[in-house]
Amino acid sequence: MARQPEWFQQIPEAIERLAAFPAPVLDRAALERLMGVGPRTAIRLLHRFGAWQAGHGLLISAPALREQLVALADSPPCRQDLQRRRRLADLVETTGRDWRARGLRVTEASAGPAGLPAGVTLEAGRLEARFGTLEDLLGQLLALARAIPADPEQFRRRVQGPDNVS
């Protein structure tokens, strides 16, 4: 299966928020907030969903966007991606239970100011973790695995650099 865009996971929540969206149209900034994407991805999405030019910006009708997101959410690639992500989340939970059952006391590391677990550095092509024990390392990895879905665009920029974000 081909890798799907990170913003697929935002579709169900975006559909719900669009039902109560206060304005009839969305611009790039509104779409960024709605879908949790960066400016370049928002512009690509606006073009993909049929936005129209308004001055120097792009606009899209909120009802038309919602309709397209509903159709996309029902598409096989999107359903498969959401199922894959649910399986991964279940695996993380199951692994945590297994660790506890084996006597490993894993406590999720707290996030630092950059959203990364304390002792973890992430940059293009490099992940570094400083830890004292196996449990510390596992706690950092668990915190990292949970932090990435909360702000995938931020982590994509860190891993790929700002010019390679899709």
Q: What percent of the chain has pLDDT over 70?
A: 90
Do residues 34 and 46 lie in contact, with contact meaning Cβ atoms separated by under 8 Å?
A: no
| Residue entry with tokens 């559909």 | 15
Question: What DSSP state is assigned to residue 4?
Answer: P
Query: What residue segments make up the domains of the chain, in order of their start?
Result: 6-73, 104-164
Classified by CATH at the fold level, domain 6-73 comes out as: Arc Repressor Mutant, subunit A (1.10.10)
For residue range 83-105, list pLDDT tens digits in order. Answer: 777 787 788 888 877 776 777 67
pTM of the model as a whole: 0.51
pLDDT tens digit sequence for 53-68: 988 999 999 999 998 8
In terms of Cβ atoms closer than 10 Å to its own Cβ (0-12, 13-18, 19+), residue 3 is exposed
